[in-house]
Structure 1
Amino acid sequence: MTPVDPPSVPLTQLDDEEVTYARVTRRILPFLCLCFVIAFLDRINISFAKLQMVSELGWSEQIYGLGAGMFFVAYFICEIPSNLIMLRVGARRWIARIMVTWALLTAAMSVVHSPTSFYVIRFLIGAAEAGFFPGVILYLTYWYPAKRRSHIIALFMTAIPIAGVLGGLVSGWILSSLDRYHGLSGWQWLFIVESIPSLLVGIAALLYLDDGIESAKWLTPTQKALLRSQLAQDNAGKSKHSIGAALTSGRVWLLALVYFGSSMGQYGFGFWLPTIIRQTGVASPVQISLLSAIPYAFGVVAMLWVGRSADRRREHRFHFAVPAALGALGLVGCGLYAGNTVLALTALTIACMGLSCLAPVFWAIPTAMLDGAAAAAGIALINCLGNLAGFVSPSMMGWMKDHTGSTNPGMAVIAAWLLLAAAIVIVVCRRVKAMDSGTSEGNRPGVLTST
Structure 2
Amino acid sequence: MSQAAEQYLPITSDYSEQQTRLVYRKVILRLLPYLFLAYAINTIDRLNVSFAKLRMAEDIALTDAAYGIGAGIFYLGYILFEVPSNVYLQRIGARATLTRIMLLWGMVTVATAFVTTANQLIFARFLLGVAEAGFFPGVILYLTYWFPAALRARITAVFLMAAMIAGIVSGPLAGTIMSHFDGWLGLRDWQVLFVVEGIPAMLLGVFGWFWLVDKPEEARWLTAQEKHVLASALAQGRPADTPNAKLTEVLRNPRVYIAGLVFFCIYSGSNTVSYWMPTLIRGFGVQDLKTIGLLASVPYMCALVGMYLLARSSDKRLERRWHVSLTLLLSATCFFLLGPFQDHLLFSLLFMSVGAAAALSALSLFWSIPPALLSPSAAAVGIAVISCIGGMAGVVSQIVVGAIKSATGDLYLAFDVIAGVLVVGAVVLLVGIPARQLTERVKP
> CA deviation digits over 1:95-129, x for unaligned, max 9?
01100000000001011111221121111110010
Query: Which residue, 391, 406, 411 being the options, matches 1:407?
Result: 411
Q: CA–CA distance in 2 between the matches of 1:33 and 1:13?
A: 29
- 1:19 positional shift: 2.2
* Conserved 8 A contact 1:96-1:205: yes
Deviates more, 1:132-141 or 1:407-416: 407-416
With normalisation by structure 1, the TM-score equals 0.92
Q: Secondary structure at the match of 1:388?
A: helix
Q: CA–CA distance in 1 between the matches of 2:375 and 2:269?
A: 28
> CA deviation digits over 1:269-317, x for unaligned, max 9?
0000000100001001111001111111111010011011111100101
Q: CA–CA distance in 1 between the matches of 2:56 and 2:241?
A: 49
AA in 2 matched with 1:333 = L
Q: Secondary structure at the match of 2:323?
A: helix
Query: Which residue, 150, 155, 177 being the options, matches 2:153?
Result: 150
Residue matched to 2:443: 437
Q: Secondary structure at the match of 1:219?
A: coil
Q: CA–CA distance in 2 between the matches of 1:182 and 1:99?
A: 25
- 1:236 positional shift: 3.8
Matched, 1:31 2:37: no
Structure 1 residues 282-301: aligned runs within 5 Å: 282-301=286-305
Query: Which residue, 249, 260, 265 being the options, matches 1:261?
Result: 265
Q: Secondary structure at the match of 1:65?
A: helix
Residue matched to 1:425: 429
* Conserved 8 A contact 1:154-1:307: yes
Q: CA–CA distance in 1 between the matches of 2:319 and 2:283?
A: 39
With normalisation by structure 2, the TM-score equals 0.93
Matched, 1:359 2:363: yes
Q: Secondary structure at the match of 1:166?
A: helix
> CA deviation digits over 1:157-184, x for unaligned, max 9?
0011111111101101111111233332
Q: CA–CA distance in 2 between the matches of 1:154 and 1:425?
A: 19
Structure 1 residues 1-400: aligned runs within 5 Å: 16-237=19-240, 241-400=245-404
> CA deviation digits over 1:9-36, x for unaligned, max 9?
xxx8796222222221111111101000
Q: CA–CA distance in 2 between the matches of 1:13 and 1:19?
A: 10
Deviates more, 1:16-25 or 1:421-430: 16-25
Instruction: Give the aligned length.
Output: 427
> CA deviation digits over 1:407-447, x for unaligned, max 9?
01110111111111100111121232453325xxxxxxxxx
- 1:329 positional shift: 1.5
Alpha-carbon spacing, 1:236–1:68, altered in 2? closer, same or farther (3 Å)? closer
Question: Gapped runs of 5+ residues in structure 1?
Answer: 1-11, 439-451
Q: CA–CA distance in 1 between the matches of 2:239 and 2:18?
A: 23
> CA deviation digits over 1:20-56, x for unaligned, max 9?
2222111111110100000011111111111111133
What root-mean-square deviation, in Å, do the aligned CA atoms of Structure 1 and Structure 2 show?
Answer: 1.6
- 1:353 positional shift: 2.1
* Conserved 8 A contact 1:277-1:341: no
Q: CA–CA distance in 2 between the matches of 1:393 and 1:248?
A: 27
Q: CA–CA distance in 1 between the matches of 2:431 and 2:373?
A: 18
Q: CA–CA distance in 2 between the matches of 1:308 and 1:123?
A: 37
Q: Secondary structure at the match of 2:185?
A: coil
Alpha-carbon spacing, 1:276–1:236, altered in 2? closer, same or farther (3 Å)? closer
AA in 1 matched with 2:315 = D
AA in 1 matched with 2:312 = R
Q: CA–CA distance in 2 between the matches of 1:158 and 1:120?
A: 30
Q: Secondary structure at the match of 1:384?
A: helix
Residue matched to 2:3: none
Percent sequence identity is 38
AA in 2 matched with 1:39 = N
Query: Which residue, 416, 420, 426 being the options, matches 1:416?
Result: 420
AA in 2 matched with 1:118 = L
Q: CA–CA distance in 1 between the matches of 2:443 and 2:62?
A: 54
* Conserved 8 A contact 2:330-2:358: yes
- 1:332 positional shift: 2.0
> CA deviation digits over 1:316-356, x for unaligned, max 9?
01110011111112222233322232211111111122112
* Conserved 8 A contact 2:77-2:129: yes
Q: CA–CA distance in 2 between the matches of 1:426 and 1:236?
A: 22
Q: Secondary structure at the match of 2:146?
A: coil
Q: CA–CA distance in 1 between the matches of 2:87 and 2:155?
A: 23
Question: Gapped runs of 5+ residues in structure 2?
Answer: 1-14
Q: CA–CA distance in 1 between the matches of 2:17 and 2:329?
A: 43
Alpha-carbon spacing, 1:433–1:242, altered in 2? closer, same or farther (3 Å)? farther
AA in 1 matched with 2:368 = A
Q: CA–CA distance in 2 between the matches of 1:334 and 1:276?
A: 10
Q: Secondary structure at the match of 1:59?
A: coil
